[in-house]
Every structure is written in structure tokens, then in C-alpha cells.
Structure 1
């Protein structure tokens, strides 16, 4: 068994542990955000962590109406710009908590007056030490280059922050039940997708809103572990220039949770199917997925299944998903 598969299968236990260990801190943070609501949120993250930040962005904007944006870390680490962040929150998301540019942005945000929150897996990291609030992801050691369980923990952390801030009982109740749902999601197989993608040179991965974060992450994992060119797009953006590249047989993996975006997503998929594309839609009535008990959490159960099917795709292509040729576990950018 690859480390990627083993670690992805640990995600349900990681989620249960994160929620148990951070229950008090999440309640305190939610109360702080309700009594001192920020006017804007910025996120500091790279790679998979930035995809988790995208998921958090959509939850905060949908549930609370507060703008949330990923700020280029280089404005602090390279250009040394002075940020203006009164009444702002900065959320750092990182597996290692060590990348110099992310740390520079976190420190610049703190000096500019922002409340800083760190979601980090590595204990005693510099990111933890520079934050006002620290929520350990509690994923344990992650040895595969392709992050899986720490990413799912980051998604849950973002959902928990949004849920406690909004005092959304339905979302918080669904989070408590999520580990059991993820256990089921880890059993899902998508053989038609694995077979089709194994023959492809390129494919699209589609999503929208919280589902776009999962599309971004799944495309990255196919690049990392399968050496396959996979481009993530929103259902809206694919209808512009990218649609021209779709041909008969062109593979498309689509994440379509049962949320407000679903009707428009179906219209897009109908157009893509009319061209003759090979569409693999993860949705009710499509490729199997396990509902998470709340539409905002469905993308988390979807990525749990996706990780294991991408791992199967890498194996089918004869690649070792734990050892990409050009990558290392910790990437420290400036």
C-alpha cells in the first residue's frame, strides 16, 4: 500500500481528533469573530493549503458575507509592502508552517493590525508562534509528498471556523458526524474515471464555489502523482476560451454538490457532453459520492474519494504516487 493511500484513509480519524482537540479554541474564536466581526479576511497559503483557503473563502462569503481573498505572499516577502489591515483577519494555512514567504505575510499582517490565525500541522512551527490563535490540524506525520489527510483537516478547520462564527448549528452538527461519512467515502471507487483518465494526455477538472477548491486540489494531485496535465476550472470559466479545447473523448471530471450552483453546472455539462466529451460527474445520479449531511461539507467527502481514485490512477499508470520525480515534501519559497 502506498503512503498516499494509507494517509488518505487516515483522514476520518484525523478529522475526529481535530474536532475533539480544538473544540474549546473553536468556540472561543467563533465568539471573538462574532463580537469583533472583521471587515475583510486575507489568507496566506501555497499549493494544497491555498486550495483549502479557497474553500474557506467561499464558506465565509456565502455564510457570512465577509470578503475573503488570497493575498500574494510576495508583496510582503519580496516587495516588503506595508499592508493596511485594520479590522482584518489573516488566516495562515500550512502543513509545515515553515515557508518564508507565508511567514513574512503573516508577520506583515500582524504588524498591520490584523488578528492572525494559524492552521498548521507541524507542532512548534514558526507559523504557530507568530499567530494570535493557533489550531493544530492534528493530522500526525505525513510522509507522502502528496498531502491528503492534512488537506482534509484544513478543510474541516475552515468549515469549523465558519460554523462557529456564524453559530450555524446545522453545519456544526454535520461536522460532528463527518468522520463516519468520510469512512464511507474512502470506500468509493470510480473505475470509469480511472480507466478513461489513464488514456488521456490532458483533462479538465470542474467545480464551482466550495467545489472549485476540490477541483483545484484534484487537478494538482493528478499532476503531482500521475504526471498528467489536469487543468482546474470553474463551471463558469470553462464556457469561455477553455471550451474550445474540448473534443470528442476529452475527459472531464466534474464535482457538482447539491448546492445553489448545481442547476447552472448541469447546463454546462450538457453543453460539454454535446461536443462528445467523456464526462465523469461526481454528483447525485452520477459517479458515486457520500453526502456529508450538509451541502457545504459535500466537497470534503468528495475529495476523500477523489484522493484514493487518483492514487489508483497513478498505480495504473505505473507511477509511485509517494515519490514524484521533481518534488519534495516541504517547499520553501521566498
Structure 2
């Protein structure tokens, strides 16, 4: 094939998904010491609460960080409404507040402006990006590089899992875990390789969704950001309307739209989140839902279909880094089956310049 010949649809996204095990090793081997140093410097200033700022895929990484910060540190934590400062000109008092802004590119104007406003308002500002030279990194007091390498496909895959691992290491550093955090996560690259090697299973699963008109995704706890990110990936690549709900929220009304035609994907963590999701799974089975489970083998066996994750010995808070991978692959395979190119979704750009 000549250098200028068009590539096969999905080649870039597929290649970037395949990079994830090596990227996870790079963060653990090369990035962890720097992340720990940033965490220790911020911990010394004892922020009283935390605000997380992000858009799109990075917003789902921010939600994951919110669970970590609230569960592991007991810190009050919220997601920023950027328009309060960028559109309405609000001037909050953010003294002793840690504002974490997460962005793959670090180039979106509203993220940069809201971070600068937060710093002007007295916040400790931390940028988590894949671009150390970005505008966001430059306006922030602290910066963490997620070391994912260039990402060319429009759907973010490896930068998402890189953000999750970097945020996990950062929160562990805030609570003084030291080098033990990287040791706890050392099995992740091998688990990622094992999941990514099972392409045929995901391709078979994708056949269920080739003609789907709507999908519902649900989870609880640490798995909820995975459900939201999977829904986003399905919508931006295959254009299938995919609705994501916390299991608790699904019971408060949206359950009425579930029938035996519209597929439901449940991300079932091996831990407290999975335990909390059980009443929801029971209700879905009672309604005859086409239930597909991403989780432990025992949960998959009770569903219509699924993908069993290698979660044995993997802490619940680390499972989202692995559980999103078959869902990334699913979005890719569904899109290919529908005759579309997941590398270049229509109407999207790599850097979204919201203001």
C-alpha cells in the first residue's frame, strides 16, 4: 500500500486501542514518580474540597476521580459548571480548593478560561493532560502528563485509560500510599493484554447490535463512569442513541422504556458497586430485557450474553481501566458492522473548542 493510499476504516482506532497495555506500563514505570511528587506537594497544602473540570470523555474520567476522592479521602467533591464563570462571569471564592482540570488535548478554550478563573479565585489548580505544552498545562499551577502518546483517532481510547490510571495514582499519592499504589496496579497491563486479545468474542457480541435503534447502559459505583464512557463511544462512532444511567436512577422512571427488544448493557464491578447493582439486574431480568453483562464470569452466566473480565485479585477501583476496553472494542466492531468508519465520526473534531 502506498503512503498516500486510504487506510482501512478503523485502522487508527484499532491501533490505539492495542497500545493500551504498553501505555499502562509506561505510566507505572515512568510516570508514577512524578505523579506521586505532585500529589505530595498538593497534599501538603491540605485542600478543603475538590472541584473537577472536564468535557466529553475526560468528563467520565473526572467522574471516576470523584468516586476515588470521596471514597478514599472523604473529601467533598463536585463537577464544575464552567459556564458559571466563562458565560456568567461568576467570581467564586475558591481559597484552599483543589481544582483538577482533565483534558486529552489541553486546548479547549472554556477549560483554559475556567482554570485561569479558578486560579485567580484562589484555587490550587492541577491540569491532567496528554500534552505538557498545552495552554491548559501552562495556566495551571501543577500538571500531570498521562503519557499516552499521540492519539489520532477522533474517539478517545488510550487517553481515557491513561487518565484513569494517572488519577488513581494521584489520589493514592494524596493519601500517602507512596510506591505501593504502582505495585497494586502492576497487574493492569497483563489484564489489558488478555482482554484485547479476545477480539472474536467482542465481534460476535457486536452482531447483536448491528441493527439496534437504541441502547441502555447501566452500572453503579466505580463502574458508572465506564457505562457513561461506553455510551459516548457508541454514540460518536456508530450513531446509535445510547442512554447511560446509574442503576439507582434507572429504577426511578427510565426502567419503563426497557423491553425485550432494546438491549441493556450492565457493567457489573466485582465489589460493592456490583452488589449495589443486583436489585437492578433482578428487575431487568424480570422484564425480559436483552441483558448483556460486562463483569465476572458468574454475572455473565446469569445474563443473555456478556464478556467475562479478568478481575480476580484486581481492586474494584482499578477495574474500570480494564472493563472499558471490551466496550471500546464493541463500539468499534458495531461501527464496522454498520459500514461506518470509527476513525472519523461525522461532525466531530479532535479538539472541541467550546467557550
The TM-score normalised by the length of structure 1 is: 0.95
Residue in structure 2 matched with residue 215 of structure 1 by the alignment: 227
Q: Deviations over 1:3-29 (max 9, x none)?
A: 111101101111222233323322222
SS in 2 for 1:322: coil
Residue in structure 2 matched with residue 8 of structure 1 by the alignment: 17
Query: Is the Cα–Cα contact under 8 Å of residues 191 and 310 in structure 2 kept in the other structure?
Result: yes
Residue in structure 2 matched with residue 174 of structure 1 by the alignment: 184
Stretch moving more, 43-52 or 282-291: 282-291
Residue in structure 1 matched with residue 336 of structure 2 by the alignment: 315
Residue in structure 1 matched with residue 118 of structure 2 by the alignment: 109
Q: Deviations over 1:288-313 (max 9, x none)?
A: 11227211111110112211122111
CA distance in 2, matches of 1:317, 1:264: 35
The TM-score normalised by the length of structure 2 is: 0.90
Task: State which of 241, 249, 257 in structure 2 corresponds to 1:229.
Answer: 241
Residue in structure 2 matched with residue 34 of structure 1 by the alignment: 43
Query: Is the Cα–Cα contact under 8 Å of residues 224 and 324 in structure 1 kept in the other structure?
Result: yes
Runs of 5+ consecutive residues of structure 2 not aligned to the other structure: 1-9, 301-306
SS in 2 for 1:98: coil
Residue in structure 1 matched with residue 290 of structure 2 by the alignment: 278
Stretch moving more, 163-172 or 60-69: 163-172
**Deviation (angstroms), 1:320:** 0.5
Q: Deviations over 1:203-236 (max 9, x none)?
A: 1111112211111110000001011010010010
Q: Deviations over 1:166-222 (max 9, x none)?
A: 234764322233222211121233355312222310011111122111111100000
Query: Is the Cα–Cα contact under 8 Å of residues 187 and 305 in structure 1 kept in the other structure?
Result: no
CA distance in 1, matches of 2:353, 2:59: 15
Task: State which of 249, 257, 263 in structure 2 corresponds to 1:245.
Answer: 257
Task: State which of 277, 280, 289 in structure 2 corresponds to 1:265.
Answer: 277
Stretch moving more, 27-36 or 37-46: 27-36
SS in 2 for 1:196: coil
Query: Is the Cα–Cα contact under 8 Å of residues 153 and 344 in structure 2 kept in the other structure?
Result: yes
Stretch moving more, 142-151 or 23-32: 23-32
CA distance in 2, matches of 1:327, 1:160: 31
Residue in structure 2 matched with residue 132 of structure 1 by the alignment: 141
CA distance in 1, matches of 2:247, 2:80: 24
Residue in structure 2 matched with residue 154 of structure 1 by the alignment: 163
Residue in structure 2 matched with residue 289 of structure 1 by the alignment: 309
Query: Is the Cα–Cα contact under 8 Å of residues 40 and 173 in structure 2 kept in the other structure?
Result: yes
Q: Deviations over 1:16-57 (max 9, x none)?
A: 222333233222223234333211111111000100000000
**Deviation (angstroms), 1:329:** 1.3
Query: RMSD of the alignment, in Å?
Result: 1.6
Query: Is the Cα–Cα contact under 8 Å of residues 220 and 276 in structure 2 kept in the other structure?
Result: no
- Is 1:57 the equivalent of 2:102? no
CA distance in 2, matches of 1:46, 1:193: 29
CA distance in 2, matches of 1:149, 1:228: 22
Change (3 A) 1:23 1:283: closer
